[in-house]
């Protein structure tokens, strides 16, 4: 077995033994640093125009800050940390005028920094190995919804373009040394399916196979994604990928997310993961939920046996992750559901298809 195959085996073994802990917000932590444009620029890389706010570029310009954040989350008790590559696709980075090679370097360096941190923490605590997820975030362009309210058929991007953008990112993350892929904050399932296809195609061409973690986003109390799917429809749309884990993140705090995680727990024959926001944002766009409040809610999920992986999204900090880790310590992970022979794809059907 290769070193990575050994790590993947250890990840799967750990998931059977306990509830795994994921990291928390990256954007909020970068904001706390009070970074200036100088932090987003580099003498080594010729970057076009203003880059402030492009947190992914910090993998190239301030790798020390990225490493500090990995270390902070691993120290807080995270088993899995994600690469700082949430928007590192050619489509998303077009807003900052980055070329294909620079975007590739973002992913390679993001994976390298995270790999070094995970390896260092595993060496410190061999009984608690640390793992690295390659973060593959949503795009700023959607395949399922029109870019023009006056033209329902209008699209600003094609499936092939989305596929190619994700293919480039996946290939670089794999080469950089991640242990699994995290397709996260999914608002458009068709975009996600383009990413899944990119992964499966690359594996068919000989790239090393890695576990896939898929995390959707329920955008409001309707219980649907932005592209209109229910949790059940979302699961049925992506389960062909045979993901290592399926889950939800962002948009909602723990209290509002719980019924949707419970539904996913009832349906999915794989691990269920959740990393909610620290509540809903206040009128200033900030998150007020304390580590104790977030961890208290997630402790209830763990006691009820509906989750396998827990972490935090917007507004959460290493303190939140430490509190979550402590609150679920010793609690048994959820047992995957039995495979279902019937499914619904929209949630509006008057019958269930066999």
Task: Give the residue with greater pLDDT, 341 vs 136.
Answer: 136
pLDDT(121) > 80 = yes
94 within a domain of the structure (yes/no): yes
In whole angstroms, give the CA distance from residue 300 to residue 21: 15
> Domain containing 238: what range?
3-328
Q: Residue 89: name the closest of 121, 136, 54, 150 by CA.
A: 136
218 within a domain of the structure (yes/no): yes
In whole angstroms, give the CA distance from residue 260 to residue 160: 31
The pLDDT mean for the chain works out to 94
pLDDT(343) > 50 = yes
Q: Is 206 helix (H, G, I), strand (E, B) or coil?
A: coil
21 within a domain of the structure (yes/no): yes
**Which of 79-83, 283-287, 335-339 has the highest mean predicted lDDT (pLDDT)?**
79-83
Find all residues with CB under 8 Å of 8, minimum gap 6, and list them.
Answer: 179, 180, 210, 211
In whole angstroms, give the CA distance from residue 41 to residue 228: 39
Q: How confident is the model at residue 146 (pLDDT cuts 50, 70, 90)?
A: confident
Tell me how far CA of residue 126 lies from CA of 118, 123, 332, in angstroms.
11, 6, 21
Find all residues with CB under 8 Å of 216, minimum gap 6, and list them.
Answer: 186, 187, 189, 192, 225, 231, 234, 247, 248, 249
* 192 carries a ligand binding annotation: no
Q: How confident is the model at residue 1 (pLDDT cuts 50, 70, 90)?
A: confident
pTM of the complete model: 0.95
**φ/ψ of residue 232, rounded to 5:** -65, -40
Q: What is the CATH number of the domain that holds 113?
A: 3.20.20.330
Q: What is the pLDDT of residue 109?
A: 98
Strands 131-136, 180-186: pairing is parallel
Q: What is the pLDDT of residue 221?
A: 78
Q: How confident is the model at residue 354 (pLDDT cuts 50, 70, 90)?
A: very low
CB atoms under 10 Å from CB of 59, counted, come to 25
Q: What is the pLDDT of residue 154?
A: 82
pLDDT(346) > 70 = no
pLDDT(353) > 60 = no
E runs forming strands in 64-187 = 80-82, 131-136, 180-186
347 within a domain of the structure (yes/no): no
In whole angstroms, give the CA distance from residue 93 to residue 82: 19
Number of domains in the chain: 1
CB atoms under 10 Å from CB of 284, counted, come to 7
Q: What is the pLDDT of residue 337?
A: 79
Q: Residue 295: name the closest of 272, 319, 259, 265 by CA.
A: 319
Q: What is the pLDDT of residues 234-264, one digit of tens each?
A: 999 999 999 999 999 999 999 999 999 999 9
CB atoms under 10 Å from CB of 260, counted, come to 20
pLDDT(202) > 80 = yes
pLDDT(139) > 80 = yes
91 within a domain of the structure (yes/no): yes
pLDDT(348) > 60 = no
pLDDT(351) > 70 = no
Q: How confident is the model at residue 318 (pLDDT cuts 50, 70, 90)?
A: very high
In whole angstroms, give the CA distance from residue 24 to residue 77: 11
* 314 carries a ligand binding annotation: yes
pLDDT(267) > 50 = yes
* 313 carries a ligand binding annotation: yes
Q: What is the pLDDT of residue 63?
A: 97
Q: How confident is the model at residue 349 (pLDDT cuts 50, 70, 90)?
A: low
Find all residues with CB under 8 Å of 227, minimum gap 6, and list them.
Answer: 142, 144, 145, 187, 188, 189, 190
323 within a domain of the structure (yes/no): yes
Find all residues with CB under 8 Å of 89, minimum gap 6, and list them.
Answer: 103, 136, 139, 165, 166, 168, 169
319 within a domain of the structure (yes/no): yes
Q: What is the pLDDT of residues 152-183, one digit of tens each?
A: 888 889 999 999 999 999 999 999 999 999 99
CB 167 within 8 A of CB 249: no
E runs forming strands in 217-342 = 245-253, 271-277, 309-310
Q: What is the pLDDT of residue 345?
A: 66
In whole angstroms, give the CA distance from residue 118 to residue 62: 18
342 within a domain of the structure (yes/no): no
Q: What is the pLDDT of residue 223?
A: 86
């Amino acid at each position: 077995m290769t070193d990575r195959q050994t790590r993947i085996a250890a990840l799967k073994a750990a998931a059977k033994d306990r509830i795994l802990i994921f990291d928390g917000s990256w954007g909020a932590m970068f904001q706390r640093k009070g970074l200036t444009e100088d932090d987003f620029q580099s003498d080594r890389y010729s970057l076009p125009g203003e880059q402030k706010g492009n947190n992914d570029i910090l993998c190239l310009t301030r790798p020390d800050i990225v490493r500090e954040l990995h270390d902070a989350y691993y120290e807080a008790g995270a088993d899995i940390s994600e690469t700082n590559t949430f928007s590192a696709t050619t489509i998303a980075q077009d807003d900052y005028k980055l070329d294909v090679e620079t975007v590739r370097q973002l992913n390679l360096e993001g994976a390298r920094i995270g790999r070094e941190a995970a390896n260092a923490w595993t060496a410190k605590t061999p009984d608690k190995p640390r793992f690295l997820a390659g973060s593959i975030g949503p795009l700023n362009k959607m395949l399922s919804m029109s870019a023009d309210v006056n033209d329902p058929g209008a699209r600003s991007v094609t499936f092939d373009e989305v596929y190619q953008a994700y293919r480039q990112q996946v290939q670089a993350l794999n080469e950089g040394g991640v242990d699994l892929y995290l397709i996260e904050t999914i608002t458009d399932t068709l975009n996600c399916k383009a990413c899944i296809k990119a992964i499966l195609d690359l594996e068919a061409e000989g790239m090393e196979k890695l576990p896939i973690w898929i995390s959707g986003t329920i955008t409001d109390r309707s219980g649907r994604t932005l592209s209109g799917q229910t949790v059940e429809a979302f699961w049925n749309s992506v389960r062909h990928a045979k993901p290592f884990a399926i889950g939800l993140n962002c948009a909602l705090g723990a209290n509002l997310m719980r019924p949707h995680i419970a539904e996913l727990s009832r349906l999915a024959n794989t691990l269920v993961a959740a990393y909610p926001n620290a509540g809903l944002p206040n009128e200033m766009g900030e998150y007020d939920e304390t580590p104790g409040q977030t961890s208290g809610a997630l402790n209830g999920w763990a006691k009820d046996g509906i989750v396998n992986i827990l972490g935090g999204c917007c507004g959460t900090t290493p303190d939140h992750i430490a509190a979550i880790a402590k609150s679920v310590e010793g609690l048994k992970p959820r047992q995957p559901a039995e495979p279902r022979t019937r499914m619904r794809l929209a949630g509006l059907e008057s019958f269930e298809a066999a």
